[in-house]
Structure 1
Amino acid sequence: MNASTITGRPGTAVPPRSDYVPVRNPAQWVAAAVGLIILAWIVSLILVNPNLDFGTVLSNITNEMILEGLLRTFQLTIVSMLIGTVLGVIIACARISNNRLMNGLANLYIWFFRGVPLLVQILIWGNFALLFPNLGVGIPFTDVMFFDVPTNSVITVFVASILALSLHEAAYMAEVVRGGLQGVDQGQEEAAKALGMSGPRIMMRIVLPQALRMIIPPTGNQLISLLKASALVSVIAGGELMTVANDIGAISYKTLELLAVATFWYLVIVTVLSVAQKFLEKRMSRGARR
């Protein structure tokens, strides 16, 4: 069999086969070695530090109060993420709508809740009773009230934490969802309209499935960020992991050890979420060309 038979083009010779040999870069090995040495040095400084009692750290990792605080952290994160995502989708739809009023309100919401630090929002909701001692239903602009209740009985510490985290998260999720929806080729929607598909059906069958590939990665990042941001609830004694760790550390005078316990659990949770995010991204990207 000659070269013309192999290539299908007469007169074209097949180049000789050559094995690819990657270019060696000694600088990478040197940088890796230096990085490992620095990491080992930092770890050794921590392990041999006499001011850190690892016995206290190990004994408190499975402390019942710590595990209860960890459960509260999960509750805050999951509930706030669900509420924030639903609100974010609604705000994103308003953000890309042609209605100027809805668009303006969506922009105002995003501007406010992204502009005010989360710590300030938590403190405002935690002290909401100072602004409005009672909550009730009545006739606006009059003193007529049908019924009212003390604010602290409605907006408890847990509710205040949920309100602050979810409203803050909704502003960021709105931009994540908006970016995913607008990232879908407009020609897809136009083709679906030409086939006679309705707007909601186009969104559910055409736009949203494609947008999910762009929405899921930043949503996973937002979930991890929200999990860590839940530690800020400790300023109003929210009962989550950081609050419990601070309380135990203050009583036992082992502040650093309890912070190490909290760090351990945060790293474990973030690692699990990161693995789950990679698995979900891989599953959602099946059939997509890279």
Structure 2
Amino acid sequence: MKTLVYVDHDNSMLGDATLATVTAAAKLGEVHLLVAGAGCGSVADAAARIAGVGKVHVADDTAYEHQLAENVAPLIAGLMDAGEHGHDAVLFPATTTGKNIAPRVAALLDVMQISDILSVEGEKTFTRPIYAGNAIATVESSDAKLVITVRGTAFDKADAEGGSAAIEAVASTGDKGLSSFVGAELAESERPELTSAKIIVSGGRALKDAETFQQIIMPLADKLGAGVGASRAAVDAGYVPNDYQVGQTGKIVAPEVYIAIGISGAIQHLAGMKDSRTIIAINKDEDAPIFQVADIGLVADLYKAVPDLTAGL
């Protein structure tokens, strides 16, 4: 089976989520990558160095500068249906960009998308979470072409060095004129990005307000060199921006250490972090659901326990 992996990037750097997607694709067969962007030569070079990659297709055109799904989807569909040079499966990282493009590709190919896979069980058989991760479904596709999104936290990352894939330019399908890029408001932080952070400190609704969140959570995160997350309740209450949200409708994370402070553990939040290697929970409610998944639990008042912990580091 010949697989195509869509490379997640910003035209200058390759996203970590791509490496896990390559690992998933390698379980299906020969791996090719697609880099679609503008002035993205450095990304193509980095993609070619990924271990296990056979070929890198590069579509360098202003139409792909912002990776608008309406422009990229026809390009991918063409690479899938290119006769003997086509591909049997296309895999996307389950990032914002990947989840935006994949359904359009599936529609163009008239196949069913398989979302958020956790493992590859066979050539057309996969597992994926349902019911907010409380059950794992095994699904088998009968489609000739596969369109798949990959949960990056479920697969090891492929080695970013060691490969020497050939780089091949592919023809642009151009700007379809269906959408246009207006602007982007990007949050900038010196802290690690949530999906790649090895340690995450998250706060919940119990932190009362934005000022308290800053006073309690940020010093601990700074001491640990950690990323900062939050429950949906904390985000909805305006304590932090929504790009901090961890959970079913936020970011899916699996750090080495996840510290949940003042988070009760609603099912939607657990779906986004329960694959973390070590979970530490601090909550004054001993019956909070978070303690059911925690490796280490501290029943205590966070307003005393967290500053004490921070001071002791």
| Shared fold (TM-score, shorter chain, > 0.5) | no
Q: If the length of structure 2 is used for normalisation, what is the TM-score?
A: 0.19
Structure whose alpha-carbon radius of gyration is higher:
1
Q: If the length of structure 1 is used for normalisation, what is the TM-score?
A: 0.20
